[in-house]
Chains A and B, each alone.
Chain A
Amino acid sequence: MNGQSEIETEILVIGSGPGGAVSGTLFAEAGRHVVMVEEGDHLALEAAPHFSREEMLLKYRNAGVGVALGRHKLAWVEGRCVGGGSEVNRGLYHRTPGYVFDDWRRRFAVHDLDLAGMTPHFEACEAVARVEYAGIAASDMSRRLQQGAQAQGWLAIEAPRLYRYDHDHRSGVKQSMSATFVQRFVAAGGALLPRTRIARLRRMNGHWIAQGSRRGEDGRQRPVTFRAKTVFIACGAVQTPALLRRSGISHNVGDSLRFHPMVKVVAEFDRDVNRPDDFDPVHQVKEFEPRFGMGCSISTPAMLGVALSGRPDHWQLVAERWRRMGIYYVQSGGGEASVRNLPGFEDPIVRVRFSQGDLSVLGEGLRRLCEALFAAGAQRIYPCLAGYPDLHSPGDLARLPDVLQASDGNMTSVHVFSSCPMGEDRRRTAANSFGKVHGTDGLYINDASLLCGPTSVNPQGTVMAVAHRNASEALTRRFH
């Protein structure tokens, strides 16, 4: 450490979400000198109840307000705390389907990427952040989706979670990064600096200089500078391209951000399906992937209230019937967005475009979702889309438009990726097959930005395994 605010390290990892936490841990356990900085606070898992208003303010970026602008806007959220999105998410877990890797390898010329080669990386991550099934403990609300899909003859499964279930006490422990990899990182001698934001990077005398600020206990920002031979950027799919662009690196950076856009409905059943102490829902319909998938959302009274907030009678509806209600979604991989910095502003702007094809996939998915829910015994379905009618029977499905008519806030996403794709095809990638930024030395990306496109399944497993693969490769190549 030179003076008050210049910190020298061998490796600087920026961001402590799944990408950063996995990378940092591998380097620290390999005996490297690593500093991991994180813009958000280091908070206990129980610092705020899950999916509460307090959690939004404490652990989410921009208090949970993220809007991709465009003709059809999309609202998305990201975590901002030690552990990133893994702290606020449900941890629904999948290994990446083989066809996704095959597609990325072909279209982006990614070397050495297939399911067989990735399996040891999935296994290594799952040995630290444990993955378990709820089994018979899954809630009725969650099972209803599976029952409805199966009645239609569709494939529906229970997704495992990054979670250790304690079936006896109807509780468990989330396997977030702060509860798993970050602890190992610190135990291996890694230095974790929360409340530290990197604003830009520059190259000087064979080193990277990372300039930023650190928020003290008094809330005041103080400038801080890091000097490192090697930098791993893992700020998430929106902030990573924003940081690179602020640092003058823009080749295929922030041009191809992708989401899993979703639309929701509230289904009301003839009996109680939703109880306060239920485990988070876990069932998913796989029949139509990769075009679209379906699942069940957190359906607390607060979430139901927001989902139904466009209706004048929402309070009464939720107060009287929330136990009979569940929120369900359909999600696709459509839409493409850009990430840009605006002069004079700190937060990057995201602009999204959806084609008619994207919107008709969601339109079809919405109809299919409602079919499954009626087959599961739903008495009424309330689409969370302005102007859409309530549905009372399968006959009403004919009233749904074929192409999704989404107004503000109706399309949402919790999955963002692909803003800086990896691969050897330099016409469309920002980094090589293992995340080294093209045309630079000692600068790597290792987070959701690198994924070449939608994963179709929940992405955190892919982010972790790809980060594990790339960090292992960097160690093998001694960062050359």
Chain B
Amino acid sequence: MSKPDTVAALVDVLVDESRPGLSASERGVVADYVRSTLAGMPDYFRIGFRMLAMMFEIAPLPVHGHRFSYLAPAERQAHVQAWRRSRMGFRRSMIAFYTTFACYGLYSLPRAQDRAPAARIAA
């Protein structure tokens, strides 16, 4: 069994909510953007988000017998919905965060191809 990729799986669900036909490579671009954002966020949030992602990943185990990344698409969606509507603020916040950044990545897609890598001015 491969290593679970919570971010990619979660981004997949969020993308499916609005653009189910999006290609795998474009999904990858969105997931990479979300990962870069997670890597750049303030260090104390980063640790918090890692822990949250782990909780999110393993939460379905008792009921479904599988972690989030290994669930069937419909079950994944249901899990995201449950956290989105949860009475616990941190669960809602986590989904809101991923939704915002996945959305930004998604809407930025059409223009992504025509970018040259950033040119640095001499140090």
B79 close to chain A: CB less than 8 A: no
A327-384: which have CB < 8 Å to B? 342, 345-347, 349
Q: How far is the CA of A49 from the CA of B37 in the complex (A)?
A: 17
Structural contact, B103 and A305, CB atoms closer than 8 A? yes
Q: How far is the CA of A347 from the CA of B47 in the complex (A)?
A: 12
Structural contact, A309 and B100, CB atoms closer than 8 A? yes
Smallest Cβ-Cβ distance to A54: which chain B residue:
B115
Interface string of B35-57 (1 = CB under 8 A from A): 01101111111000000000000
Structural contact, A53 and B104, CB atoms closer than 8 A? yes
Q: A42-B120, A42-B123, A44-B121 are in contact. Are A65 and B41 (CB under 8 A)?
A: yes
A62 close to chain B: CB less than 8 A: yes
Q: How many A-B residue pairs have CB under 8 A?
A: 104
Q: A65-B41, A67-B45 are in contact. Are A43 and B118 (CB under 8 A)?
A: yes
Q: Which of B40, B106, B111 is within 8 Å of A63, CB to CB?
A: B40
Smallest Cβ-Cβ distance to B41: which chain A residue:
A65
Structural contact, A342 and B107, CB atoms closer than 8 A? no
Structural contact, A193 and B37, CB atoms closer than 8 A? no
Structural contact, A306 and B100, CB atoms closer than 8 A? yes
Interface string of A389-423 (1 = CB under 8 A from B): 00000000000000000011100000000000000
A194 close to chain B: CB less than 8 A: yes
Q: A49-B115, A57-B36, A408-B89 are in contact. Are A347 and B42 (CB under 8 A)?
A: yes
A3 close to chain B: CB less than 8 A: no
Report the minimal beta-carbon distance from B55 to chain A, rounded to whole angstroms. 18
Structural contact, A43 and B105, CB atoms closer than 8 A? no
Structural contact, B115 and A63, CB atoms closer than 8 A? no
Interface string of A43-63 (1 = CB under 8 A from B): 110011100111011100011
**In the complex, what residues of A have CB within 8 A of residue B36's CB?**
57, 63
Q: Which of A42, A52, A53 is within 8 Å of B121, CB to CB?
A: A42
B86 close to chain A: CB less than 8 A: no
B69-123: which have CB < 8 Å to A? 89, 92-93, 96-97, 99-100, 103-108, 111-112, 115, 118-123
**In the complex, what residues of B have CB within 8 A of residue A349's CB?**
42, 44
**In the complex, what residues of B have CB within 8 A of residue A441's CB?**
none
B4-30: which have CB < 8 Å to A? 17-19
Q: A42-B123, A57-B40, A408-B89 are in contact. Are A52 and B111 (CB under 8 A)?
A: yes
Report the minimal beta-carbon distance from A28 to chain B, rounded to whole angstroms. 17
Q: How far is the CA of A67 from the CA of B43 in the complex (A)?
A: 12
Report the minimal beta-carbon distance from B39 to chain A, rounded to whole angstroms. 7
**In the complex, what residues of B have CB within 8 A of residue A346's CB?**
43
Interface string of A173-195 (1 = CB under 8 A from B): 00000100000000000000111
A278 close to chain B: CB less than 8 A: no
**In the complex, what residues of B have CB within 8 A of residue A42's CB?**
120-123
Structural contact, B37 and A64, CB atoms closer than 8 A? yes
Q: How far is the CA of A301 from the CA of B45 in the complex (A)?
A: 28
**In the complex, what residues of A have CB within 8 A of residue B104's CB?**
53, 56, 302, 305-306
Q: How far is the CA of A413 from the CA of B37 in the complex (A)?
A: 19
Q: A63-B39, A315-B19 are in contact. Are A302 and B108 (CB under 8 A)?
A: yes
Structural contact, A63 and B41, CB atoms closer than 8 A? yes
Structural contact, A194 and B123, CB atoms closer than 8 A? yes
**In the complex, what residues of B have CB within 8 A of residue A310's CB?**
96, 99
Report the minimal beta-carbon distance from B104 to chain A, rounded to whole angstroms. 5
Q: How far is the CA of A302 from the CA of B105 in the complex (A)?
A: 8
Structural contact, A54 and B118, CB atoms closer than 8 A? yes
Q: How far is the CA of A53 from the CA of B112 in the complex (A)?
A: 9
Interface residues of chain B, those whose CB is within 8 Å of chain A, are 17-19, 33, 36-37, 39-45, 89, 92-93, 96-97, 99-100, 103-108, 111-112, 115, 118-123
Given contacts A42-B121, A43-B120, A57-B33, 11 further A-B contacts (CB under 8 A): A43-B119, A47-B120, A53-B105, A58-B118, A63-B39, A63-B40, A67-B45, A315-B106, A346-B43, A409-B97, A409-B100
